[in-house]
Structure 1
Amino acid sequence: MKGQEWYQATEVAEEYDEKRFSRGGRLIDRREKRAVLEALGPVEDKRVLEIACGTGRFTVMLAERGAEITGLDISGPMLQEGREKAQQAGVADHLEFMRGDAARLPFPDDYFDTVFAMRFFHLADTPAKFLSEMARVSKNQVFFDTFNRFSTRSIYNWLLPMGSRLYGRDEVEDLVSGAGLSLVDAEHDFVLPYGLYRQIPDWIADDLREFDTTVGSTGLGDKLASVSYWDARV
């Protein structure tokens, strides 16, 4: 997986949320959480697995809503940040964080109601293998996001230290089909790239986001979107 050593560094884990989801980045955090909540629906008493849970942003959020959730990640320092976040939220007894490899999930077939991954497939070197494993352990839903090839992200992607794997819709549909899944819904957002939001203060980011969503609601929105959220069923 791209950036595996970087991602497991303690200093990266400690600064991860602050660097990505403060200032204008809070709008990204808000949109991603809304995407997960809308896709998963009511989660109380549902068994949920989050792949590449990182610092536990979504894991803790869903635990607070009554899910029986497991967060899996390859980074020990990231998981430690998640455990501390769960303690602060008072849900440490209602979730489990596990260190593991998403290519070899340590769970039996059809074990979870929902399996999801956010900010994972842009780093995946073998996306078909990861998605097949997610489908194997889910008895119902698989949800994930991608960065899109034909978008503003493609303009600067080569400048990023790790780069990103960018996807076209046809490629995602082939991956979904190859994993034995059926695509039931897709949403597309952020005509402007994530990186721009992180570099600007809140008051500018709010106006920029309003412009972004206005353009996104037009006929060009889906074609220009840099991020897509994919909802599939087993």
Structure 2
Amino acid sequence: MKGEEWYQADEVAEEYDEKRFSRGGRLIDRREKQAVLDALGPLEDQRVLEIACGTGRFTVMLAERGADIVGLDISAAMLQQGRKKAQAAGVSDHLEFMRGDAARLPFPDDHFDTVFAMRFFHLADTPAAFLSEMRRVAKEQVIFDTFNATSTRSIYNWLLPMGSRLYSRTEVEKLLAEADLELAEEDHDWILPYGFYRKIPGSIAGPIREFDESVGESVVGDSLASVSYWAASVE
């Protein structure tokens, strides 16, 4: 897994949210959370597993909305930040954080209604194996996002210290087929890459994001999008 040691460092975990989701990054946080909520639908009586939950951005949000959720991550430092976040939100008793390996999930088959992973597959060295394991423990659906090869992300990718795995639509469709998953919904967004927004103040990012969305809603929007959100149903 790319960046595995980097993500487990205490100083990285402590600064993770501030560096990525402040300034213009707040727009990214808001959009990603909405993408997860849209894909999940009603949360009442839903058992949910989040893979690579990191600092618990989504885990805590979903616990606040009534989901029975487990957040799994390989980084003890990231999980500690998630527990602090859950305690501050008053949901510590309504979720579970576990340290574990996404390649060997410690759960029986069909254990969760939904399994999802955000900001994970761009680091995955064996995406087919990870997706297959997610599907194994999912009873109804699997949700994940990818960074896209034919987008501005490919240019920005050169500047990243770890690099990112970029996906074509054909590759995603192949991964789904091999995991016995059927694509149910998809959404494509962000003409400009995430890293651009994180570098600029929110007051500047807002108008640029409006332009980004207007291009995204045009006939060429999907083909230029740097991020795709995929929701697949268990066959």
Structure 1 SS opposite 2:143: strand
Structure 1 counterpart of 2:114, one-letter code: T
The answer to whether 1:233 aligns with 2:233 is: yes
Give the equivalent residue in structure 1 for 2:67: 67
The answer to whether 1:37 aligns with 2:37 is: yes
Structure 2 counterpart of 1:76, one-letter code: A
Map 1:165-180 to 2 at 5 A.
Answer: 165-180=165-180
Inter-partner Cα distance in structure 2 for 1:172 and 1:163: 19
Inter-partner Cα distance in structure 2 for 1:84 and 1:155: 36
Please identify, of 40-49 and 8-17, the stretch whose mean Cα deviation from structure 2 is larger. Answer: 40-49
Give the equivalent residue in structure 2 for 1:224: 224
Give the equivalent residue in structure 2 for 1:28: 28
The answer on whether the counterparts of 2:156 and 2:195 sit within 8 Å (CA) in structure 1 is no
Structure 2 SS opposite 1:230: strand
Structure 2 counterpart of 1:134, one-letter code: M
* Alignment coverage as a number of residue pairs: 234
Structure 1 SS opposite 2:208: helix
The answer to whether 1:134 aligns with 2:134 is: yes
Give the equivalent residue in structure 1 for 2:117: 117
Give the equivalent residue in structure 1 for 2:195: 195
Give the equivalent residue in structure 1 for 2:186: 186
**Offset of 1:206 from its aligned partner?**
0.3
**Offset of 1:44 from its aligned partner?**
1.8
Inter-partner Cα distance in structure 1 for 2:17 and 2:42: 26
**Offset of 1:159 from its aligned partner?**
1.8
What RMSD over aligned residues (CA atoms) do the two structures have, in Å? 0.5
1:178-230 CA-partner distances (Å, limit 9, x unpaired): 00100011100000110110011111100000000000000110000000000
Inter-partner Cα distance in structure 1 for 2:20 and 2:42: 27
Inter-partner Cα distance in structure 2 for 1:26 and 1:138: 30
Percent of aligned pairs sharing the same letter:
78
Give the equivalent residue in structure 2 for 1:4: 4
Inter-partner Cα distance in structure 2 for 1:102 and 1:8: 15
The answer to whether 1:57 aligns with 2:57 is: yes
**Offset of 1:90 from its aligned partner?**
0.3
Inter-partner Cα distance in structure 2 for 1:15 and 1:72: 19
Give the equivalent residue in structure 1 for 2:101: 101
Inter-partner Cα distance in structure 2 for 1:100 and 1:124: 15
Inter-partner Cα distance in structure 1 for 2:24 and 2:158: 23
User: What TM-score do you get using the length of structure 1 for normalisation?
Assistant: 0.99
User: What TM-score do you get using the length of structure 2 for normalisation?
Assistant: 0.99
- Structure 2 spans left out of the alignment, 5+ residues: none
* Deviation beyond 2 Å, 4+ runs, structure 1: none
